[in-house]
Structure 1
Amino acid sequence: MDLGVFARQHRLAITLLAEGWSRFDDLVRETGLPRRSAEDLLAELGDDVERDRTALRLRPGTEEKWLDHVGRQATPPTDLAARIEAHLADVPPPLPALDHVQATADTVLRRALWLDEHYDLGRVKTVFVGDHDLTSLAVRELRPDADLAVVDVDDRVLEHIDRRSRGTVRTVHADLRFGLPRAVAGTADVVFSDPPYTPEGMALFASRAVECLAEPTSGRVLLAYGYSRRHPTLGHQTQRALLNLGLTFEAIVPGFHRYHGAQAIGSSADLYVCHPTPRARRKAKGAQAIYTHGPRSVEAEGTASATRETLAALTALAGEDGRKVTEAAPDWTKPITAEPGTAVTLDLSGDPGPWLARVLLAVNAERVAALVPNAHPDLVDAASQAALIKLVACKYRLRLLRSTPDNKHAVVVADRMEGASAARPVWTRAHARLGNVWTQAPADLSELRLIDLPRHRIVEVLRRLTAEDSTPN
C-alpha cells in the first residue's frame, strides 16, 4: 500500500476507526477517500478491522502499527521557526531579473508543515523547482528523513542550500528554459515550485515539474501563483495555461503565501495543488521570455539588445585568423562539437549569470566567441575574471574583451588549450556521467554529470582533479 501522496486521508481514516465504531458511508464522507480507495484500505487492514453489521472499527491496540504503516507526521522541533529564520537571514539577495521576491519566514514554515501534513515525506521523493525561499531547508529541519532535491538557475542559492543542509539536499543546476537535468527527471512523487507569475513562466515551470514526476498521474505538483484581483484576466490566462498542460486543480488555497514585496498582487499568492492527467507528460516549449522583469521579461520580448552590427562584430572576432565561423544557440543541455578549423559564436546577451561557464563546458571547438552583457558576473572584477579563467584553464585560454563591440557588451574569446591533465577528459565530456570519465569520482558524484552540478561543486571537482595531477604515481 503506497500511500505517499495520500497519507493525510489514510491517517484520518485509521484515526477514525481507532476512535470507535464508524459506518462505511461516514468513513468515506469524513476522509474524502473515493469508495474504491476506502475499500482497498479496509482490505489492507485485514483482520485488524472488526465489523458489527454495517459498523467498522480498528481492533484495539493496532492503531500505532497502522499509523506507522501509512506514515506519521513529524513532531516539529520547538525552535523550528528560529531555524528557518536563521537560514533566511543570509540567503543570497533576490535577483529581480529572475523574479525573486522573498517569502516570509512564516510562509516557509507553513509550507513545510502543510507538506508534512498531506504527504508522507519520509517515503516520497520531493523536488523543489526553484527554491530561493529555502522551503527545502524548512522541510529538512522538520523531516530529517525526507528525500529532497532542488533545481535552480541561481548558483548562489544552490551553494547556500548545499552548505546549510550539509549536503543532505541534492542540488542540481538548470535553466528550465533549456531543459530539465537527467538527475531529477522522472524521480519525484511531489514537486513544489514558486514560478515567475506570467502565463509563460507558470506553464514552463509546471511542465518541468511534471517531467520531474516518476508517475505523473499518481504524483502531485504544488505551485504558488498570485495575481491582482483587479485584473482577473491574468489569473484566467495562467489557469488556462495550466489546464492546457493536462493539470487538474485538486485544490486552490487562497492567500497561502505571503511575501516581502510583490505589492501589486497584495504581497500574497495562492497555493495550487495540481493533479496531472495521463496527457500531462507533454513538454512545454522552452520559452525565453518568462519573467516580469529584466532582459528576458515578457514585456522585453522582441527587443533584443544584440543588434545585427553587434553580432557581425562577434563573428569578425571569432574568425579573425580566417577560420570558418558557425553560430550555436545559447543551450548547454547537449554537447556542441565543431569541425576542425571552425569557431563557434554564441549570443549570450541575455545571460543572467550562469550561462557563460556552462557554455564553455558544453562546446568543444578550437575557438568559442561569446557575446555577454558588459556587467556579466564573471567579468565585473578581477577576482571574478580570475575564477572563470581558472575554471576552464584545462580546456580554453580566455581573452576577456570588456566594452566590446560597444559599452553594453563584452566578448569572451576562448581558444582551445592543448596538453594532458586529469581534468581535461572530464571538462571535454561534461555531459557524461562523472563515473564514466573520472576513475576516482566520489560515490555521491559518479552518477551525475558535470554540466548539471552547481558551480561550487564544479570548482570542487576541479580541485580534486588538480590534486590527482600533483599526486605522485
Structure 2
Amino acid sequence: MDRDRVERLLREAGTDSRRLRHALTLLCGGQWWTLAALVRETATARRTVETLLHELPLEYTGKTFRIPLTDTPAYQDLLALAPPPEDPVAHLLPHYAHELERLTTLIAQAPRARHVLDHVSATPETVLRRALLLGARFWLPGARLLCVGDHDLTSLAVKLIHPETDVTVIDIDDRILAYIDDQRLDVRTRWADLRLGLPPSARNHDLALTDPPYTPEGTGLFVARAVEGLKEDGRVLLAYGTSDRTPMLAFKVQQALSDLNLTYEAIYPDFNRYFGAEAIGSAADLYILRPTTKTRPAVTSRLTRQATAIYTQGPQSIEAAKPPAQKSPAPEPTGPTPDLLVGDWPKDLAQPRVKLSTWLAKPYAAAPDRVAIALPPGLEAALPRLLLATRASHVRVLCADLPPLPDVLSAVYELSTDGGVLDAVRLPQPGGDAASVLRRILDNGHAKLANTWREALIAVARAQGSTLTKNEARTLIREAAPWSEDLTPLEAPLHCLSSLPKAVSTTVAALTTTT
C-alpha cells in the first residue's frame, strides 16, 4: 500500500478518476468514515471504493476509518480540489431544518423495506430535496402530483413543504399506504399492482414521481403507468441509478424510456442518495421526462407486452423468470368444473378465460357461477381484490403461498384453505341494515364506493319510511369515511376496507337523526 499504487489506480481511471479523488479528499479531511457513508457521499460503487481503500494506509476506530493525519500531505496533489457538481436546491436546505427533522423521524419509523419489492430507503435529505426541486421548477399551488410507488415517503415531504399540492400515492404495499394515512397530511392513497393496471382514480395529474425497480422492465412499467396518470402536458420525475461499472444496464433502461417516445428535459446526476444500494454508489440520478404526441400510443403498446417479472430479487425477479422451455407447468383446475378461468391456465382447457389485469379493470360481461383463479407467486397482494371483482357463487384460487385475508371478506364469503387452494363460497344476502349496506358495497367492486354506499343508505331510509337526500347521504359518508370519495373497493387500501364495517354502521345509525 503506497502512493505509487494509488497514482496508478487514478491514472487507469482516467477522466473517471474524479470520484476516486473525491473519496481520497474526504479520507484526508480528518473525519472518520464508514464504508457505507463514504459510498453514499461520493455516489461511487462500493467495489470501486473498496479498490481505492485497498491501496491506502488507513487507521481505524471501531468500524470507521481515515487516512492518518501524518500521511495526508503525501496525497495533497492527487485530491479533487473542486467540489462535485452543485446541488440545485442545496442552498434551500438550511431553511427547512424542522421539516428535515420530522422527515428523519417519519422515515426511521416507517415499515421495514421488503427486498422482494426492491425497496431501498432514500435519505431524509433526498426526499426533502425532491420536494424542494418540485417547487423550484414547477408551480405547485393547486397542482396534482401522483407518486407511483412511495416507500421513500416523498408524498409526505411534498405535503410538509407544499401543503397546497394535491398528492395521491399508488402502491402495492398496504403497510406503506396505512403508514402514510396515519400521518394525516391529506395524502390520497390507492392500492395498485402496476403489472395489473392503474387505478381509475389515479389519472389526470400534472406531475408524476417514481423511484422504480432498477431493471429495464421495472423502470419501463413504472414510467408507462406514470404517463397513464398524467394530463397531456404533464411531466414524469424518475429516480434511476446504476453502477459506473455497468453502463450497459443504464443503456437498456434508457432504451426502455426511449421506446416510450419521451423527451429528457433534465438529468440531475446523483441527486438521490440511499441507505443501502451500495452496488450503485447508494445514489441515483433524477430525470425529468416529458411525453410527446407519440408517447401514449407507445405506452399502450408497451403495456400490452407487460410481464410480471420486474424486480431484481424474489419470485418476480428477472433472474427467477425461467426460459419458456423450462417454465413450470401451468396449474390444472381441481374440483367441480369452473365456468371461467382467470389468469394463466393451460391452453387446451375449453373454458373461456380472462387475464388478471382485465378481471380487475372491469366487470366480466357474463355472470359465471364458478370461477377458478391462478395466482402466480409475487402477486399475492392482489388476492383480496380478485375476490371482490366478481359476484360468482364459488371462487377457487390456486396460489402457492396464500396470504392472510382481511376480516372484511367474511361479510361476502365463507373461506376455507387446503394447501395452496382457497375456496371462497359466497354467502346469502344478510339481514340487518348495516350488514346489507356493507354487502352491497362489497358486491360492487368496480363501482365507486361512495356512490354505492350513498344509494344503499337512501334505500335503507326509504325502507324505514323516511327520506334521505343525496347530499345528506354524502355528508354522512364523508364524516364516517373521508377516504372513501372517488375510489372503488378494488383500489382501496386494506386498512380502509377493514374500517368499512364500523364506518357503515355509523352512517346507518345516524339515519334516525338525519331523517
Normalising by structure 2, we get a TM-score of 0.68
Deviation at 1:110, TM superposition (A): 1.5
Given candidates 79, 98, 101, the residue that maps to 1:79 is 98
Partner SS state of residue 288, structure 2: strand
CA contact (8 A) 2:390 2:445 kept: no
Deviation at 1:436, TM superposition (A): 2.7
Partner SS state of residue 316, structure 1: coil
1:326 aligns with 2:340: yes
Partner SS state of residue 414, structure 2: strand
Measured against aligned partners, the alpha-carbon deviations of 1:432-466 in whole angstroms (never above 9, x if no partner) come to 01233112452442422111111111112232224
Rounded to whole Å, the distance in 2 between the matches of 1:127 and 1:74 is 24
CA RMSD of aligned residues (A): 2.4
Aligned to 2:308: 288
Measured against aligned partners, the alpha-carbon deviations of 1:21-61 in whole angstroms (never above 9, x if no partner) come to xxxxxxxxxxxxxxxxxxxxxxxxxxxxxxxxxxxxxxxxx
1:412 aligns with 2:422: yes
Distance 1:303 1:101, change over 3 A: farther
Deviation at 1:427, TM superposition (A): 0.9
1:180 aligns with 2:195: no
Deviation at 1:84, TM superposition (A): 0.4
Measured against aligned partners, the alpha-carbon deviations of 1:230-262 in whole angstroms (never above 9, x if no partner) come to 111111111111011011111111111111111
Residues 154-169 of structure 1: pairs in structure 2 closer than 5 A: 154-164=173-183, 166=184, 168-169=186-187
CA contact (8 A) 1:337 1:364 kept: no
Deviation at 1:229, TM superposition (A): 1.4
Residues 268-417 of structure 1: pairs in structure 2 closer than 5 A: 268-282=283-297, 283=299, 284-285=302-303, 286-302=306-322, 307-308=328-329, 311-312=331-332, 315-317=333-335, 319=336, 323-329=337-343, 330-331=356-357, 332-336=360-364, 339=367, 342-374=369-401, 376-378=402-404, 388=406, 390-401=407-418, 404=419, 410-417=420-427
Aligned to 1:248: 263
Partner SS state of residue 108, structure 1: helix
Partner SS state of residue 116, structure 1: helix
Instruction: Report the AA paired with residue 413 of structure 1.
Output: D
Partner SS state of residue 349, structure 1: coil
Structure (1/2) with the larger helix percentage: 2
Aligned to 2:503: 464
Aligned to 1:201: 218
Given candidates 413, 432, 444, the residue that maps to 1:429 is 444
Instruction: Report the AA paired with residue 155 of structure 1.
Output: D
Deviation at 1:327, TM superposition (A): 1.2
Distance 1:90 1:126, change over 3 A: same
Measured against aligned partners, the alpha-carbon deviations of 1:75-96 in whole angstroms (never above 9, x if no partner) come to 9544111010111121111111
Distance 1:86 1:234, change over 3 A: same
Rounded to whole Å, the distance in 1 between the matches of 2:365 and 2:502 is 26
Rounded to whole Å, the distance in 1 between the matches of 2:179 and 2:295 is 32
CA contact (8 A) 1:246 1:277 kept: yes
CA contact (8 A) 2:156 2:185 kept: no
Distance 1:400 1:471, change over 3 A: farther
Normalising by structure 1, we get a TM-score of 0.74
CA contact (8 A) 2:159 2:185 kept: no
- % identical equivalent positions: 39
Instruction: Report the AA paired with residue 302 of structure 1.
Output: K
Rounded to whole Å, the distance in 2 between the matches of 1:202 and 1:427 is 34
CA contact (8 A) 1:74 1:116 kept: no
Distance 1:74 1:434, change over 3 A: farther
CA contact (8 A) 2:93 2:129 kept: no
Aligned to 1:120: 139
CA contact (8 A) 1:172 1:452 kept: yes
Instruction: Report the AA paired with residue 237 of structure 2.
Output: L
Aligned to 1:220: 235
The number of residues matched between the two structures is: 372
Partner SS state of residue 331, structure 2: helix
Instruction: Report the AA paired with residue 371 of structure 1.
Output: L
Rounded to whole Å, the distance in 2 between the matches of 1:163 and 1:306 is 42
Any unmatched runs of 5+ in structure 2?
A: 1-91, 344-355, 431-435, 455-472
Measured against aligned partners, the alpha-carbon deviations of 1:354-384 in whole angstroms (never above 9, x if no partner) come to 211111111221111112233x441xxxxxx
Rounded to whole Å, the distance in 2 between the matches of 1:78 and 1:108 is 13
Instruction: Report the AA paired with residue 179 of structure 1.
Output: G
Rounded to whole Å, the distance in 2 between the matches of 1:82 and 1:353 is 36
Partner SS state of residue 355, structure 1: helix
CA contact (8 A) 2:111 2:175 kept: yes
Rounded to whole Å, the distance in 1 between the matches of 2:117 and 2:397 is 22
Rounded to whole Å, the distance in 1 between the matches of 2:511 and 2:148 is 43
Residues 97-176 of structure 1: pairs in structure 2 closer than 5 A: 97-164=116-183, 166=184, 168-176=186-194
Rounded to whole Å, the distance in 2 between the matches of 1:373 and 1:463 is 33
Distance 1:426 1:260, change over 3 A: same
Rounded to whole Å, the distance in 1 between the matches of 2:381 and 2:501 is 17
Rounded to whole Å, the distance in 2 between the matches of 1:234 and 1:367 is 46
Instruction: Report the AA paired with residue 162 of structure 1.
Output: D
Distance 1:76 1:438, change over 3 A: farther
CA contact (8 A) 1:126 1:191 kept: yes
CA contact (8 A) 2:267 2:285 kept: yes
Deviation at 1:469, TM superposition (A): 6.3
Rounded to whole Å, the distance in 2 between the matches of 1:362 and 1:79 is 44
Residues 1-40 of structure 1: pairs in structure 2 closer than 5 A: none
Instruction: Report the AA paired with residue 224 of structure 1.
Output: A
Distance 1:212 1:472, change over 3 A: closer
Deviation at 1:273, TM superposition (A): 0.9
Rounded to whole Å, the distance in 1 between the matches of 2:125 and 2:507 is 47
Deviation at 1:290, TM superposition (A): 1.0
